[in-house]
Amino acid sequence: MSSGEVSRRESGTLAVASASRGPWKTAAAVGAVGAGAAVAVDLITLHWSLSILAGPASIGLFLFFLVGGAGAALTKRGGDHRIRRWAAEHPWEAALAPAGALWVTNAVTEFVFSSSGILGSILTGLWHAAILYAIVGVVSSVAGARRKSSGS
């Protein structure tokens, strides 16, 4: 599947399909542990406020999508081989699905749990998603290059 054969809409569908191969149960556990640790730190340091859940929820979401997105790029088993090949050939497009999901969920979480307005929540979600996109994109690029060089 070359880029010329796939429409923009199909590319988005393939990115979501690629991300669905990730270790999402493990990602949920890592996100919960990260959020729990952040809550514990806030409680120990007496960081009490109405928005005490905004930071830990944001950390938990970031870790969840990081482990799930990067894990999807690194996993070698399961799923359709065509999706794996597409993700290896288009690592940055594959990284869009977890980054976009983080942007939406993080913006909503920030708006609900913090004193940020809509614009502040959207911008906070956007820069968190940009960092996630860069990390998952690099991991996917390296994993794709390793697969190509090993012939898998």
Helix (H/G/I), strand (E/B), else coil: 90: coil
Give the span between the Cα atoms of 31 and 104, in whole angstroms: 16
Question: What are the residue ranges spanned by the domains of the chain?
Answer: 3-150
38's tokens: 């952040």
Q: What is the pLDDT along the chain (152 residues), one digit of tens a residue?
A: 444 576 777 777 777 777 777 888 999 999 999 999 998 988 888 877 767 888 899 999 999 999 999 988 888 766 667 777 887 888 898 899 999 999 999 999 999 988 888 999 999 999 999 999 999 999 989 887 776 666 65
How confident is the model at residue 48, as a pLDDT? Answer: 73
| Residue 73 amino acid letter | A
Selection from 145, 127, 135 nearest residue 67 by Cα: 135
* Single-letter amino acid, residue 122: I
What pLDDT is attached to residue 50? 63
End-to-end CA distance of the chain: 16
- CB proximity list for 42: less than 8 A, separation 6 or greater: 48, 52, 55, 56
